[in-house]
């Protein structure tokens, strides 16, 4: 697995004017992976990304890109990186196509075919000859991602690419990023202050707060993980007397005098419903509880920090 690491941060620190903004952050990014950098505003996401792409110096620690230290071998390491940090700057009165062609001429070895390829990859073909100023926010972001991919980097760094997008726009970006990770085998590091977006898009997330590593979360763990189902019944006494004693093999917790939360595999839910009805329990509502990841994020970062 070590050879699949495309980006490595080792004990990174950043101090600006005596203020320690990044404290000892370490993580790895693997080939083909979509990794989220999740943290509230001001937690140090942009600063971390600016150091990775060389827009900002590192106070101490090492960053390796495909095994090259960015301190010692900046030229070799930086060519593997494509980035969109803050809003991309395009010429508003040029079409998307003209903008991309303009940028491609500043890069080495980017053919017109490659420009057309990234346009297709980001689903921009229909709008590519329209002026940039007429693009929706989602299209602007996609053009920014297309630009970052022009030189076929192994690593794509995106700072808050879904910021300001509506849920449909977020889903669209998610679909395109998944496609990029699959088709081009690009490793993607993206930041967000919203757990819900990271949860939708990423395979794994690193949570940071106050410039410090808090926790790494594997999203794919959630696949096959038990679900939490909230069942509201007429009264809990009926449930207690007829269901609990029937020695059924369910894991549950009684929350109040009408509510029971079951921890269960999705495929076992129909059977649970049948068992409840057969036991004569009057069921009013059944709802799926939100993933506990949200509780975890709030708990880890201390409450009022999702925005």
Ligand X SMILES: Nc1ncnc2c1ncn2[C@@H]1O[C@H](COP(=O)(O)OP(=O)(O)O)[C@@H](O)[C@H]1O
**Residues numbered 36-95 forming contacts with ligand X, rule: CB under 6 A:** 39, 41-47
Of 37 and 127, CB closest to Mg ion: 37
Nearest distance in Å: CB 26, ligand X: 17
Residue nearest Mg ion, Cβ-based: 46
Go through the chain and tell me how many residues it has: 307
Residue 187, phi-psi category: left (phi > 0), alpha (psi -120 to 50), beta (remainder)? beta
**How far is CA 33 from each of CA 79, 156, 304, rounded to the nearest angstrom?**
19, 10, 29
Q: Report the DSSP pairing between strands 259-264 and 212-218.
A: unpaired
Cα–Cα distance for residue pair 71/92, rounded to 1 Å: 35
Q: Count interface residues toward ligand X (CB under 6 A).
A: 10
Residues 6 or more apart in contact with residue 263 via CB below 8 angstroms? 226, 227, 228, 251, 252
162 is an interface residue for ligand X by CB under 6 A = no
Of 39 and 96, CB closest to ligand X: 39
Binding mask 100-129 for ligand X (x = CB under 6 A): ------------------------------
16 is an interface residue for ligand X by CB under 6 A = yes
**Residues numbered 17-36 forming contacts with ligand X, rule: CB under 6 A:** 21
Task: List residues bridging with 62 in a β-sheet.
Answer: 10
Of 46 and 99, CB closest to Mg ion: 46
**Residues numbered 229-258 forming contacts with Mg ion, rule: CB under 5 A:** none
Interface residue list for ligand X (CB under 6 A): 16, 21, 39, 41-47
């Amino acid at each position: 697995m070590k050879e699949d690491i495309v980006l490595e941060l080792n004990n990174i620190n950043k101090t600006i004017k005596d203020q320690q903004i990044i404290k000892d952050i370490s993580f790895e990014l693997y080939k083909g992976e979509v990794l989220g950098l999740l943290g509230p505003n001001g937690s140090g996401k942009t600063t971390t990304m600016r150091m990775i792409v060389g827009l900002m110096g590192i106070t101490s620690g090492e960053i390796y890109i495909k095994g090259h230290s960015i301190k010692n071998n900046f030229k070799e390491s930086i060519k593997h990186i494509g980035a969109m940090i803050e809003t991309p700057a395009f010429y508003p009165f040029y079409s998307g196509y003209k903008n991309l062609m303009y940028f491609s001429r500043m890069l080495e070895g980017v053919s017109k075919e490659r420009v057309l390829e990234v346009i297709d990859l980001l689903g921009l073909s229909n709008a590519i000859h329209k002026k940039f100023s007429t693009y929706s926010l989602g299209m602007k972001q996609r053009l920014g991602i297309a630009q970052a991919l022009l030189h076929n980097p192994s690593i794509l760094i995106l700072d808050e690419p879904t910021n300001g997008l509506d849920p449909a726009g977020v889903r669209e970006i998610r679909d395109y990023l998944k496609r990029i990770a699959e088709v081009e085998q690009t490793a993607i590091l993206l930041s967000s202050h919203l757990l819900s977006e990271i949860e939708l898009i990423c395979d794994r997330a690193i949570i940071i707060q106050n410039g410090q590593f808090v926790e790494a979360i594997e999203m794919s763990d959630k696949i096959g993980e038990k679900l939490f189902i909230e069942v509201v019944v007429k009264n809990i006494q009926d449930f207690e007397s007829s269901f609990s004693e029937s020695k059924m093999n369910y894991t549950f917790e009684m929350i109040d005098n009408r509510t029971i939360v079951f921890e269960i595999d999705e495929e076992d839910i129909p059977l649970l419903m049948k068992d409840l009805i057969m036991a004569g329990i009057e069921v009013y509502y059944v709802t799926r509880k939100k993933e506990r990841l949200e509780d975890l994020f709030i708990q880890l970062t201390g409450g009022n920090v999702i925005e």
